[in-house]
Amino acid sequence: MSLHDDDKKLKIKHSLEKRVVTLPDGTFLPSIGQGTWYMGENPESKNKEIKALQLGIELGMKVIDTAEMYGNGDSERLVGEALKARRDKVFLVSKVYPHHSGLDMIERACENSLKRLGTDHLDLYLLHWRGRVPLAETIEGMERLRKDGKILRWGVSNFDTDDMKELMETDGGKKCMTNQVLYHLGSRGIDYDLLPWHQEHNLPIMAYSPLAQGGSLRRQLLSDPTILEISEKYNVQPLQIVLAWTIRSNNVIAIPKAVQEEHVLANAQAAAIQLTREDLNKLDEVFPKPVRKMPLDII
Ligand SMILES: NC(=O)c1ccc[n+]([C@@H]2O[C@H](COP(=O)([O-])OP(=O)(O)OC[C@H]3O[C@@H](n4cnc5c(N)ncnc54)[C@H](OP(=O)(O)O)[C@@H]3O)[C@@H](O)[C@H]2O)c1
């Protein structure tokens, strides 16, 4: 596909607009966004990374995920450059380190992220993973930032079912908008209880590493005969099937990271793939849903 083919870009954008996920506050988001881990770390790749993010935004992958941790702020700086004159087109997500999530640190950590990102607010601020700071304190910090307009919403990341239950029972915990966890066809642990719990509570999941890091976390995803058969049927690549699988329900937002132009396009195009019940059953046979509780997969 030619990158200059505006009609095709528009078609991709429309298919993304049709695959939306709704946050508890009623905000609609396209179910495929963009990750940025490792971006901004190598000066030689910076221009390419900026262009990749900008192409993704143009195609409608408006959710951009970063974190203060990534490259010690380099990812946020790169995202800031990519967003110049485009801030209003993006739903910007960053994450706070657990050791910065207490009342003594969270405001400064957020200010520093805002500075690196060149913006005055985040659309969503996530606790990167659970640390030693009591949940109640992090919630209070998040709520203060929200009242000051520095963040519009907050959520968590790498929380398992028991953590989510505890969060809901903590004062203010029900204001959480999402939980970002590892989820791909080769790592389905959350299908046992965490994802059903989220569905019951109408709380979307954000799926990180949805391509199993380009297949490197699970090589089988690139060569499995069932995935190949389904990808041939839709005339797409195996990892596009893997991505379409991740967003098969309407409460998962996948955030693949891509620097290669063809990867950005392929990921956006995956929104147009609607897997049938038959496809899903075939995939379940090779990559079965867990039948018992699995520890949350984390990288
Ligand atoms: N909350 C957390 O604890 C946590 C943890 C990990 C990740 N994350 C977030 O989730 C994002 C995504 O996860 P990830 O970066 O770990 O892995 P990923 O998105 O599963 O995979 C990224 C890799 O896949 C390649 N790729 C992208 N699209 C492709 C396609 N269509 N076909 C073939 N290869 C493709 C990329 O190559 P190129 O870049 O060369 O195009 C890159 O090497 C991160 O960037 C980060 O924002 C969050």
CATH code, domain with 208 = 3.20.20.100
Q: What is the pLDDT of residues 19-57, one digit of tens each?
A: 999 999 999 999 999 999 999 999 999 999 999 999 999
User: 34 is in which domain, residue-wise?
Assistant: 16-219+249-259
The pLDDT tens digits for 60-92 are 999 999 999 999 999 999 999 999 999 999 999
**pLDDT, tens only, 103-123:** 999 999 999 999 999 999 999
The reply to whether 128 sits in an annotated binding site is yes
Question: For the segment 146-159, what is each residue's pLDDT rounded down to a tens digit?
Answer: 999 999 999 999 99
> Residue 270 CA: which ligand 1 atom is closest?
31
**Ligand 1 atom index nearest CA of 157:** 1
> How many domains are there within the chain?
1
Q: What is the pLDDT of residues 185-231, one digit of tens each?
A: 999 999 999 999 999 999 999 999 999 999 999 999 999 999 999 99
pLDDT at 4 (0 to 100): 62
Rounded distance, CA 13 to CA 269, Å?
9
- What's the predicted TM-score (pTM) here? 0.98
Please check whether residue 142 lies inside any domain of the structure: yes
Domain for residue 8, yes or no?
A: no
In a domain, 268, yes or no: no
- Per cent of the chain over pLDDT 70 is 99
- Whether the pLDDT of residue 243 is over 80: the answer is yes
Q: How far is the CA of 209 from the centre of ligand 1 (A)?
A: 5
CA distances from 282 to 56, 67, 205, 222, 285 (A): 31, 36, 24, 16, 5
Nearest residue to 65 (alpha-carbon basis) of 89, 94, 87, 88: 94
Band of residue 5 on the pLDDT scale cut at 50, 70, 90? confident
For residue 214 and ligand 1, the question of a CB distance below 6 A is answered with yes
Closest CA to 184 of 160, 162, 206: 206
Region 6-15 average pLDDT: 92
End-to-end CA distance of the chain: 34
For residue 299, pLDDT over 60 is answered with yes
Per-residue pLDDT of 171-189, as tens digits, reads 999 999 999 999 999 999 9
Q: Are 61 and 92 in contact (CB under 8 A)?
A: no
Query: Does 2 score more than 90 pLDDT?
Result: no
